[in-house]
């Protein structure tokens, strides 16, 4: 049986957990930490049925340490420690920390990379950012495993919110693992996603359909003192869409608890060892140096590769359908069509829609579509932005996508296809290729459904990158027939990266430039 719980606003912060009967008391560790008291509240069952036994503590990940000591030191940093980021807004307060374990230098490096990414993405994705705090707790230690929960508290234009990420260290190899690596494979993550969706089905404050089996949605998982799997979600991560506004942070931290016997078949070897370490009577905080090398390309459940991996566009007759300006209210209908037809597409997102519909981004990524940036604001970039503001415009959507999915964006399409050497240089500096198009559907000129179909099918060529808009109802309605007719003509549907065989950061594609002016 499974329970889902919410944390109610405007109550006191509880202890984050306990091992055995040892309570832990929370002490503020930097200015502003006391403000968290308004964010995280005692957990109460939601009435979804199948409530796990154990009372309030069953919803809490175990905690074995949250202050330096016993061979564990602490790294602490502020904004000056992250000067190499492409966008560095002035006046933003940053206070971050993570533990350093004796004998686990590789874990310190892994946690440092995670914290660096959190700071980078907070800077890029937030509207008028004010402050970011990252605190830590050790949630497992022993059996060759260490677990660290990072608690992120941030404030920006939209207020104060809290988020969580729990990371796991395999001492045998020196590998720092994401929470989804506690699970055996993608199938196990999909099964867990179904279980959690069902547990939230009757929750009015939760959009259960926004749950998708991606690494960033399931980025904080651990075990309670009974060995049950505890899955926790950031403030607002599962909240329903609010038009023109990021989803509300209420009801706060959401939790699903999967009893140990139900979770057991889903766990990897690391997950089973982590579970044993989480319920051990005494933590073992020091580890030996790794005896083996970490995996070069670890299989991370929930890290999705876009497109058909067996499709080779050097041999097949490929075409890429690309959709700009979303996600929009019409995008789910388009995703339904693409799923039914088993077609992968490429989506170029703008910042405000991405903030409004994060669940649609997660869905598109989970279903194997390629996700790129279409800039934060839909403006002519060369004449509208320069310097630090240009850096922010390029960074914003990439940060939003990574926060929702874990995916690092590699493709950038400037609005209207309007670029310049300075814009291209900034795109390349941030690790992305500039993607224009080779075929303009002209759907933006108020074409009807049938006119969109004839425009795409009539102009199709092998290797074409077709410009479309998922914000337009006639375009969405045209897609089924476009797919049918192009398939009948022998076309295979590919992502942009497959058509261009891995675009290189800092380069513009197609090399010959735009085929015609367009209203993208």
Alpha-carbon distance of 28 to 33, in angstroms, equals: 5
327 Cα distance to chain centroid: 15
Per the annotation, the verdict on 469 as an active-site residue is: yes
User: Which 3 state secondary structure label does DSSP give 138?
Assistant: strand
Active-site entry in 175, 374, 376, 469: 469
Which of 466, 486, 474, 482 has its CA nearest to residue 445?
474
Dihedral in degrees, nearest 10, Cα atoms 432, 433, 439, 442: 40
Active-site entry in 324, 418, 440, 470: 324
Q: What's the Cα-to-Cα distance from 492 to each of 168, 189, 323, 470, 475, rounded to whole Å?
A: 40, 29, 17, 20, 20
User: Which 3 state secondary structure label does DSSP give 98?
Assistant: strand
Task: Give the containing element (helix H, strand E) for 9.
Answer: none
Alpha-carbon distance of 427 to 511, in angstroms, equals: 16
Per the annotation, the verdict on 324 as an active-site residue is: yes
Q: Which residues pair with 22 in a beta bridge?
A: 19
Question: 10 Å Cβ neighbour count for 299?
Answer: 12
Alpha-carbon distance of 62 to 42, in angstroms, equals: 15
Q: Which residues pair with 440 in a beta bridge?
A: 467
- Residue 195 · residue 208 · CB < 8 Å: no
User: Which 3 state secondary structure label does DSSP give 320?
Assistant: strand
Alpha-carbon distance of 503 to 412, in angstroms, equals: 11
User: Which 3 state secondary structure label does DSSP give 373?
Assistant: strand
- Strands 93-101 and 131-142, by their bridges, are parallel
Which DSSP category does 69 fall into?
B
Exposure letters 352-366 (e unless 16+ CB within 10 A, then b): bbbbbbbbbbbbbbb
Catalytic residues: 324, 469
């Amino acid at each position: 049986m499974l329970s889902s719980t919410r944390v109610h606003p405007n109550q006191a912060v509880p202890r984050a957990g306990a091992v055995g009967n040892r309570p832990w008391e929370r002490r503020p560790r930097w200015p502003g930490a006391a403000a968290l008291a308004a964010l995280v509240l005692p957990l109460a069952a939601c009435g979804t049925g199948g409530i796990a036994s154990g009372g309030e503590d069953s919803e809490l990940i175990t905690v074995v340490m949250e202050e330096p000591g016993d061979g564990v030191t602490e790294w602490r940093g502020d904004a000056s420690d992250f000067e190499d980021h492409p966008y560095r807004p002035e006046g933003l307060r940053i206070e971050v920390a993570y533990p350093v374990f004796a004998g686990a230098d590789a874990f310190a490096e892994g946690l440092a990379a995670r914290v660096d990414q959190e700071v980078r993405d907070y800077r890029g994705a937030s509207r008028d950012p004010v402050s970011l705090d990252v605190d830590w707790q050790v949630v497992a230690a022993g059996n060759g495993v260490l677990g660290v929960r990072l608690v992120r508290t941030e404030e920006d234009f939209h207020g104060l919110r809290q988020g969580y990420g729990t990371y796991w260290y395999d001492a045998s190899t020196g590998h720092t693992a994401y929470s989804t690596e506690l699970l055996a494979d993608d199938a196990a993550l999909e099964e867990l996603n179904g279980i959690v969706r069902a547990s939230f089905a009757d929750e009015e404050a939760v959009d259960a359909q926004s749950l998708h089996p991606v690494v960033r949605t399931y980025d904080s998982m651990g075990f309670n003192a009974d060995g049950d799997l505890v899955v926790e979600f950031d403030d607002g991560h599962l909240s329903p869409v609010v038009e023109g506004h990021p989803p509300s942070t209420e009801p706060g931290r959401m939790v699903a608890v999967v009893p140990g016997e139900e979770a057991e078949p889903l766990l990897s070897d690391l997950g089973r060892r982590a579970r044993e370490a989480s319920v051990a009577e005494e933590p073992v905080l020091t580890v030996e140096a790794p005896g083996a090398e970490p995996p070069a390309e670890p299989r991370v459940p929930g890290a999705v590769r876009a497109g058909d991996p067996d499709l080779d566009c050097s041999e097949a007759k490929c075409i890429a359908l690309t959709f700009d300006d979303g996600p929009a209210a019409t995008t789910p209908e388009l995703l339904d069509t693409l799923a039914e037809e088993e077609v992968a597409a490429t989506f170029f997102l703008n910042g405000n829609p991405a903030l409004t519909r994060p669940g649609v981004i997660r869905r598109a990524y989970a279903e194997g579509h390629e996700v790129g940036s279409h800039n934060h604001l839909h403006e002519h970039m060369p004449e509208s932005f320069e310097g630090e503001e240009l850096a922010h415009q390029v960074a914003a959507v990439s940060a939003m996508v990574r926060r929702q999915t874990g995916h690092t964006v590699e493709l950038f399409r400037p609005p209207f296809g309007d670029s310049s050497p300075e814009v291209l240089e900034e795109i390349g500096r941030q690790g992305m290729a500039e993607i224009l198009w080779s075929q303009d559907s002209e759907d933006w000129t108020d074409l009807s459904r049938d006119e969109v179909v004839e425009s795409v099918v009539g102009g199709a060529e092998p290797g074409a990158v077709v410009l479309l808009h998922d914000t337009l109802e006639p375009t969405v309605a045209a897609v089924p027939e476009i797919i049918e007719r192009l398939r009948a003509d022998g076309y295979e549907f590919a992502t942009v990266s497959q058509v261009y065989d891995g675009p290189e950061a800092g380069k513009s594609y197609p090399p010959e430039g735009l085929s015609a002016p367009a209203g993208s």
